[in-house]
Chain A
Amino acid sequence: MYSSISDGLMVAAVLGYMLAMIGYAVEYAFGRQGVVARIAARKPRAAKVLVAAGSGDEVTVPGDDSDDEPHRPIDAGRAAAIGRVALAVQTVAAAAHVACLVFRALAAHRVPWGNMYEYVLTACLIATIAWLVVAYRRPSVRHLGLFVSLVVAVLLCVDAAKLYATAGPLVPALNSYWLVIHVSAMTVASGIFLVGFVTVALYLIQERREAWLAEDRPLRFPLTLGDRLPASETLERLGFRIHALGFPIWTFGIMCGAIWAEHAWGRYWGWDPKETWSFIAWVVYAAYLHARATPSVRGRWSSWIAVLGWAVMLVNLFGVNLVVSGLHSYAGVG
């Protein structure tokens, strides 16, 4: 009963995210600084606006100050309205997502992260919420919701298609209050790292685009995405701040996992594949934070390290759960 409500809400949430994605795409293309507007305004001017904004002290984004643009597209206002609608739809979808997890919890009488299906579900919700917070506080980056909703929608579709497991009670090893603490910390950190990954990936695009613009080289996809992105400097700082938020949470999650492992398996650390890959992710993200503090590698290099960190996270989530067998085999798949 609850379980089927949860499944229905899951579908609703995915559809909502897809709808929001379309809305964001419209705003992305036709909004105030959309591709259409960019082409109308010519490239060099766009570059200047972005660079000027990037030199500000605060993390600001060029946005609503484009009144003096020579060829203001007619439908820019409407595109912005569609973007607002997309944000509203995404918010509603997130609410459905929350409800989906609540019903899942009611169906199983436990926290909704007992298997991999639920874990991905929760991580995606965290990522969406993190994004919604950013989008409401900084309307000028709203159109970037395209990327977040895209990643979340794809992950949820994979989740529903490949990882679905019926709601049920926990296996004995998971039956501990540490499940609430450890897994929620890991999920929250994963969600934050996901947003961080999107940010640094966009930074890498924008950084390359700015370099090519400076050399007057013609731009091709994916560099053309940069037309609608904040300045690279802004993205880089934002990426750092997101990772700096996620890293202590990830550390905390690993530590809680170690304490739980001591209770359940009799040792706080045993190089179980999941433990190993969490450790690798920790080391890579630590390297990112250190690289960013080093002027000679800050920027492009450090951001690639963050991308690598996310790759490790994906290996940890999919590779370790589905391919390697270990003590963390709770995926409930196959």
Chain B
Amino acid sequence: MSSDGSERPEDGAVLAEDRNGSAPVLEEAGREDENALSSRPDAGAARRVAGNGVVATARRWWRQLTSMRTALLLLFLLAVAAAPGSLLPQRNLNADKVDTYFAQHPTLAPAMDKIGLFDVYSSPWFAAIYLLLFVSLIGCLTPRIRVHLRALRRTPPDAPRSLRRLRVHTEYASDGSAGTAADAAYKALRARRFRAVRRRHDDGTVTVSAEKGFLRETGNLLFHFSLVALLVGVAVGSGYGWHGGRLILPGRDNAFCDTLQQYDEYSLGSRVSGGDLPPFCVTLDKFNATYQANGEPLTYSGDVTYSPDGGAGGRRYKLEVNHPLRVDGASVYLVGNGYAPVLKYTDRYGQSQTVTAPFLPSDSNFTSDGVAIFPDANVDPRTGKRNVDLQVAFQGLFFPTVAKQGGQGSTYPGLRDPAVLLFAYRGNTGTDAGIPHSVYSLDQSQIENKQLKQVGKNPKLLRPDTKCTAQSCWKLDDGTTVQFVGVTRWATIQVRHDPGERIVLIAGIALLLGLMGSLTIRRRRVWFRFTPDGSGTAVSAGGLARTEYAGFSTEFDRIVTAARGPARSDADRPPDGRDGADPGPSRGKD
């Protein structure tokens, strides 16, 4: 707290002003806001704005909006509005779940979608609530800045006429003159970092007024405006930030470079274009996972090589779940992983093709499903002509540790006994049609319209081997074979840049500091009045905590003890007996 103008020579003008001010101090004491997180005008005040004109109506509405009741109502609305987002599937969290919900509730879902129930946190009504709340907050607190700045400049008001009316008060006698006793009290208060001021009155009395705890309101204002800053940070992030995610397979051939085309999905802020992305590249060299005996994962890590600014050469980094890679102002996170069986198909012309097909895990033991499509299978090497009806695809399940009975699911997430269960399809896979479609499943419409037919009735369980054996190879009815060569691991990475993060962090820290200030600091005032009485001085002291403060009387007692000076600090048991007759603080002078 800054030092104030307490050394100002007090004169008649100030005195008169403060005398007038002294009476309201006590009245003010009766109406204390007890925690002052915010003391807003009551809604009732809004109705008291008189008049019917546009200005009066507007003012009425404004008062209503900035009233505490409205703020409370908006807080509740915000809480209620946030809830459905956790109960209904949300597009920003899991778009697949939203699609599932649509499939399950075909009539209800579109209506719910229309009112934004699947995008609660970006819906207009959610925005309306928090924006109104922030308008209300700003409207309420901006005037309080002015009030607070004025309070900071003001000297503490003069002592009220009767300090005895205060709940915390005491009286004692001092040997010294009013001036010296007042100096001692002044020093005691200043030592406790009170803003203090001495006033000499015409009748010879001296008063000392002191006040402390302005940081409470400072903290209060800081807290609320930090919320505004936080919202600004969020807005900056959504305007200038971007993020994208993709699945990445190990190996140089599968290197990822930071361009929009390379992402499986991405989202750009409204003020970002694809050209703004920093051109770094990342290669996944190897993905490692370890598990406990019970199947719980222990560690995931991806050994990556990256080159900032799209330059040559590479730096190595161990990408882990809590250990993102920071490069070119963006952050690369490891967000998922899975297995990719490597399948080799040998067609009727003896041509082999190998596909590494990432399968998506569907349970915690990494039972995974996916497809391997060979669109260029059975191309006649002599003519080079493709026959789309002879394309081959395999839909399958992968088990890192296949159940003993086989085909039931995986029993352990690690590669103890890997196997793949394949369903073979032949025909037009539909991949040439150019219609976007999930790469993890077959185009069901092609199966339905009989363009793509299952080969054989039963699926086949294969175990990996680099050689074609009875375990690893499956000979189809047309003499072609598919071989389960091996398995590799993929990782999903998320790349993100959020320039609002720093603003949010700073605002968060300020918010917390302000909150602690506004909840723990108490504003309080202490007054001393020194009246010359014969050779000595009669002293009356009183204190007022403007907010609930259980320890105030203890603090007040300490101040009074210090103000009386060391010789009188324990008047009941005087160390040298010199001041034994001095009345203690508990005994009033009269």
Contact = CB atoms under 8 A, between A and B. Distances in A.
Interface string A250-281: 01100100111011111111111100110110
Contacts of B294: 166, 168
B71 interface: yes
B72 A287 contact: yes
A272 B72 contact: no
Given A266-B333, A280-B79, A244 B519 contact: yes
A214 interface: no
Interface string B68-110: 1101100110110011011100101100000000000000000
A263 B319 CA distance: 11
B568 interface: no
Interface stretch (B186-194, B507-515, B571-579): B507-515
A283 interface: yes
Interface stretch (B36-44, B141-149, B171-179, B483-491): B36-44
Nearest to A301: B72
Interface string B288-303: 0000101011111000
Given A290-B37, A290-B38, A171 B296 contact: yes
Contacts of A292: 34-35
B446 to A, nearest CB: 32
B92 A271 contact: yes
A175 B37 contact: no
Nearest to B299: A172
B75 A266 contact: no
Nearest to B289: A172
Contact of A248 (B39, B299, B324, B519): B519
B46 to A, nearest CB: 13
Contacts of B44: 296
A166 B71 CA distance: 46
Given A247-B515, A290-B37, A297-B72, A271 B296 contact: no
B403 interface: no
Chain A interface size range: 35 or more
B320 interface: yes
A15 interface: no
A308 B209 CA distance: 43
Contacts of A262: 501
B335 interface: yes
Given A280-B82, A286-B75, A263 B322 contact: yes
A320 interface: yes
Contacts of A300: none
A276 B83 contact: yes
A240 interface: yes
Given A176-B322, A255-B508, A293-B37, A267 B496 contact: yes
B297 A294 contact: no
Nearest to B494: A266
B569 interface: no
Interface string A61-91: 0000000000000000000000000000000
A178 B322 CA distance: 9
A264 B39 CA distance: 39
A162 to B, nearest CB: 19
B553 interface: yes
B86 A324 contact: yes
Contact of A271 (B85, B331, B333, B335): B85
A320 B42 CA distance: 37
A173 B465 CA distance: 33
A58 B83 contact: no
A289 interface: yes
B185 to A, nearest CB: 22
Nearest to B121: A271
A294 B519 contact: no
B294 to A, nearest CB: 7
A268 B29 CA distance: 44
A169 B292 contact: yes
Contacts, number: 154
A291 interface: yes
B504 interface: yes
A215 interface: no
A57 interface: yes
Given A264-B321, A290-B68, A57 B85 contact: no
Contact of A57 (B323, B508, B552): B552
B35 A266 contact: no
B512 A264 contact: no
Given A248-B512, A251-B511, A287-B76, A57 B335 contact: no
A181 to B, nearest CB: 13
Contacts of A287: 72, 75-76, 79
Nearest to B245: A266
Contacts of B33: 293
Given A169-B292, A265-B333, A320-B86, A294 B68 contact: yes
Nearest to A296: B42
Given A271-B90, A271-B92, A280 B83 contact: yes
Contact of A263 (B37, B299, B324): B324
Contacts of A252: 512
Interface string A284-314: 1011011111111110000000000000100
A59 interface: yes
B35 A171 contact: no
A57 B553 contact: yes
A208 interface: no
A169 B75 contact: no
B505 interface: yes
Contacts of A178: 322
Contacts of B548: 237, 240
A59 B34 CA distance: 14
Given A57-B552, A169-B292, A293 B34 contact: yes
A172 to B, nearest CB: 4
B87 A324 contact: yes
B321 A266 contact: no
B161 interface: no
Interface string A222-242: 000000000000000100110
A291 B72 contact: yes
A300 to B, nearest CB: 14
B168 interface: yes
Nearest to A245: B519
A169 B76 CA distance: 40
A312 B78 CA distance: 14
A172 B299 CA distance: 5
Contacts of A237: 548
A69 B409 CA distance: 75
A274 to B, nearest CB: 8
Nearest to B40: A294
B198 interface: no
B55 interface: no
B498 interface: yes
Contact of A283 (B78, B120, B333): B78
Nearest to B554: A58
Nearest to B331: A266
B550 A57 contact: yes
A286 B75 CA distance: 8
Contacts of A293: 33-39, 68
A90 B306 CA distance: 57
Contact of B82 (A240, A258, A283): A283
A57 to B, nearest CB: 6
B322 A264 contact: yes
Contacts of A320: 86
A59 B550 contact: yes
Contacts of B587: none
A175 B243 CA distance: 24
Interface in B18-37: 31, 33-37
A173 B34 contact: no
7 contacts: A58-B553, A270-B93, A286-B75, A289-B37, A290-B38, A290-B71, A324-B86
Given A255-B509, A283-B75, A287-B72, 12 more contacts: A57-B167, A176-B322, A244-B519, A262-B501, A265-B333, A279-B82, A280-B82, A290-B71, A292-B35, A293-B36, A293-B39, A298-B34
